Amino acid sequence: MRIDVVTIFPEYLEPLNVSLVGKARARGQLDVRVHDLREWTHDKHNTVDDTPYGGGPGMVMKPEPWGEALDAVIESGAQGEELPVLVVPTPSGRPFTQELAVELSEKPWLVFTPARYEGIDRRVIEEYGDRLDVREVSIGDYVLAGGEAPVLVMVEAVARLLPGVLGNAESHRDDSFAPGAMADLLEGPVYTKPPEWRGRGIPDVLLSGHHGKIARWRRDEAFRRTVRNRPDLIERADPAAFDKKDREI
Ligand code: 6GU
């Protein structure tokens, strides 16, 4: 997969050199290209923002640098290569979910446009919406100063789904929000050695070697945790997803 990021803070994307994403890049599984939006300005001060039409607080990102930057990035695709999906981080976008992460992980090419200030002139989103699949996406119900941190979040969520990026092919099977038997439930608690730490032991069932009992215990713990932390997930789920033992909890 290829990922381009256009930003006025390229250094904010440095963490993409580290850990899972960094390793995927080093192995050639992921081609990440970070671009400085100011390279597509032409004035002495490399201006990227201006005051909003209609008045109001804050500044709006000017359309011309974004247009030149996105044209250049799109044209840098190989002849005949598919067009990218344009991912526009904004607190007014649709929620970024595991489902969207999976969908994006199946695309060959993503372009992210993290904005600062009050966002990008609307005409940019309209212009590229006529030519590309454009997704305006929010990572949650809070306001950040810019879209760079959301890009780090989204790239990591997508990269770990790419074939061969996670060590163990089964590592996402039990993820919270992963489809399957535990769909709709959060992951429960986990333990490792030593068997006793500061007087605290391990639930006996995990040492029993009884796989059926362990699976049931894990499900019960996942259910309990979901009821406590995310009751909305239980209410939203298909009632058929829950069994009699769940209902006893
Ligand atoms: Cl994508 N951008 C900003 N600036 N704030 C956010 C967000 C995005 N998602 C949640 N809050």
Asked whether the CA dihedral 145, 150, 151, 152 is positive or negative, the reply is positive
Task: Please tell me the predicted confidence (pLDDT) of residue 169.
Answer: 55
Distance CA 200, CA 192 (A): 12
Q: Please spell the DSSP secondary structure of 60-94, one letter per residue.
A: EE-HHHHHHHHHHHHHTSPTTPPPPEEEEEEEEEE
Pocket test for ligand 1, best of 92, 138, 151 (most atoms within 8 A of CB): 138
Distance CA 55, CA 57 (A): 7
**Which amino acid does the sequence have at 163?**
P
Among residues 151, 161, 111, 167, the alpha carbon closest in space to that of 15 is found at 151
Distance CA 217, CA 204 (A): 11
- Of the candidates 38, 91, 187, 246, the residue annotated as catalytic is 91
Task: Please tell me the predicted confidence (pLDDT) of residue 146.
Answer: 97
CA of 196 to the centre of ligand 1 (A): 42
Q: Is 118 a catalytic residue?
A: yes
Task: Please tell me the predicted confidence (pLDDT) of residue 178.
Answer: 75
Task: Supply the residue whose CA is at minimum distance from atom 7 of ligand 1.
Answer: 91
Q: Which CATH architecture has domain 173-249?
A: Orthogonal Bundle (1.10)
Task: Please tell me the predicted confidence (pLDDT) of residue 182.
Answer: 81
Tell me the mean pLDDT in the region 123-152: 97
What is the pLDDT of the chain when averaged over all its residues? 95
Tell me which of 116 and 54 has the higher pLDDT. Answer: 54
> If pLDDT is split at 50, 70 and 90, which confidence band does 184 have?
confident
Tell me the mean pLDDT in the region 13-31: 97
Q: Is 189 a catalytic residue?
A: no
pTM: 0.95
- What is the domain partition of the chain in residue ranges? 2-159, 173-249
CA of 70 to the centre of ligand 1 (A): 21
CATH fold label, 2-159: Alpha/beta knot (3.40.1280)
Distance CA 152, CA 149 (A): 5
pLDDT digits (tens, 9 = 90+) for 23-70: 999 999 999 999 999 999 999 999 999 999 999 999 999 999 999 999
Among residues 68, 66, 5, the alpha carbon closest in space to that of 31 is found at 5
* H helix intervals, the chain: 19-26, 63-75, 98-105, 122-129, 148-159, 211-229, 231-236, 244-248
Residue 106, burial from CB neighbour count under 10 angstroms (0-12, 13-18, 19+): exposed
- Equal CATH topology for 2-159 and 173-249: no
Q: φ and ψ at 28, to 5 degrees? A: 80, 15
Q: Is 142 annotated as a binding residue?
A: yes
Q: φ and ψ at 81, to 5 degrees? A: -70, 150
Task: Please tell me the predicted confidence (pLDDT) of residue 82.
Answer: 86
Q: Is 34 annotated as a binding residue?
A: no
pLDDT digits (tens, 9 = 90+) for 81-98: 789 999 999 999 999 999
pLDDT digits (tens, 9 = 90+) for 128-139: 999 999 999 999
CA of 96 to the centre of ligand 1 (A): 10
